Amino acid sequence: MLENNNENKKKSLGRGLEALLGEMNEDVLDNELAAIPSDNMMSVSDIHVSPLQPRKEFDEDAIKALASSIKEKGVLQPLIVRKDDTGYELIAGERRLRAAKEAGLSEVPVIIKTLSDREVLEIALVENLLRENLSPIEEATAYQNLIDNFSHTQEKIAEVVGKSRSYVANTLRLLTLPEKVKDYVNEGKITAGHARCLVGLDNALNLADKIIKDDLNVRQVESLVAKQKDGKTSSDVVTKKALAKDKDILEIESNLNKNLGLRIKISPNSQGGGKVVMQYASVAELDMIINILSNKKGFSLSSPVEEKNEENPGDKEKFSIKFVD
């Protein structure tokens, strides 16, 4: 069974990663294997964390649990480091280093390698992915780092980490979410599946809060987002129809403007009603409007279509504006 697990891990490495890792074979990546001999013991004070480390959050309870194990059995797996100007930069094994310090160890076993910055990031990324230590946002940030600083394509990243290109692309899209939503993902309040549903939505944060409050699963969120998108599409169509003015309304506006000498705006709504707005440019025009309303003066305005309908002359009064008691 152990050999099968190791074989699966080995296959999950991207092509060429084993060449980068060298003696860091699949055994080194398995926490449950026996101790690995190492000729290199190094003071923990000589090792510093790499700025290229993609993992930013560590479970302190898990560190303490590992420290208890280290006190009893020691560090079973060597850390991987490289020499730099200030000592030795940690490439893989930050969790073990933290736990070793917590356990009070002064030295840890190490493997010293010569690696480029690109290789450092790739190894750190793969190690964390194999151990499922990275949050989806940390994983996406590491991918973006490879793209921005090392000219990796999505295809190249997929090859390195043993994932599909579409997986890499969907993971990168998480970086477009609002910062608060990304915090929720890092804190484990919502999953990557939840987060992917929210990408591209204006109300992503509101929906994220609803997910947490109502404890929604991914399928429920997908349904909620689909309804929201369908509702928005329908609303846009209704709004455009409600705002569109037909020729009759435009003709009435024109006739009112001519007869009253005022700028008149008619705004119909989708329920068959609407509003008429009279604009005035001076006190004299305002007085005229007041006089018209006070005197109950009426105006009969017909549409062009109805003026042609001589058989039904009564229809000419359809658009009449009358002020009555």
Regarding pTM above 0.75, the answer is no
Residue 217 pLDDT class (50, 70, 90 cuts): very high
Helix (H) or strand (E) holding 209: helix 204-214
- Write the DSSP string, 148-170: HHH---HHHHHHHHT--HHHHHH
Residue 266's CB is within 10 A of a number of other CB atoms, namely: 14
pLDDT of 237 higher than 60: no
> Percent of the chain beyond pLDDT 90?
22
Strand segments, DSSP code E, in the chain are 41-43, 47-49, 79-84, 87-92, 107-112, 263-268, 274-279
Mean pLDDT value across residues 229-249:
59
Residue 286's CB is within 10 A of a number of other CB atoms, namely: 13
pLDDT tens digits along 39-66:
588 898 999 888 877 777 777 888 888 8
Residue 94 among the catalytic residues: yes
Phi, psi (rounded to 5 degrees) for 228: -65, -45
Strands 263-268 and 87-92, sheet pairing? unpaired
Locate the domains of the chain by residue range.
2-131, 247-317
**CA atoms 165, 170, 171, 176: torsion sign:** positive
Catalytic residue among 26, 89, 94, 122: 94
Range scoring the smallest mean pLDDT among 15-19, 188-192, 223-227: 15-19
CATH node for 2-131: 3.90.1530.30
Q: Which residue has the higher pLDDT, 74 or 322?
A: 74
Q: Give CA torsion, residues 4, 9, 15, 20, to 10 deg.
A: -120
**Range 69-76 contact pairs with CB under 8 angstroms and sequence separation of 24 or more:** 69/99, 70/96, 70/99, 70/100, 70/103, 70/105, 71/103, 71/104, 73/35, 74/35, 74/105, 75/100, 75/105, 75/108, 75/109, 76/31, 76/33, 76/34, 76/35, 76/36
Mean pLDDT value across residues 87-115:
88
d(Cα 103, Cα 101) in Å, to the nearest integer? 5
pLDDT tens digits along 161-209:
888 999 999 999 999 999 999 999 988 999 999 999 999 999 999 999 9
Q: What is the pLDDT of residue 213?
A: 94
d(Cα 127, Cα 28) in Å, to the nearest integer? 10
Q: What is the pLDDT of residue 265?
A: 82
pLDDT tens digits along 281-307:
787 777 777 777 777 555 444 444 444
H and E: helices and strands count for the chain: 15, 7
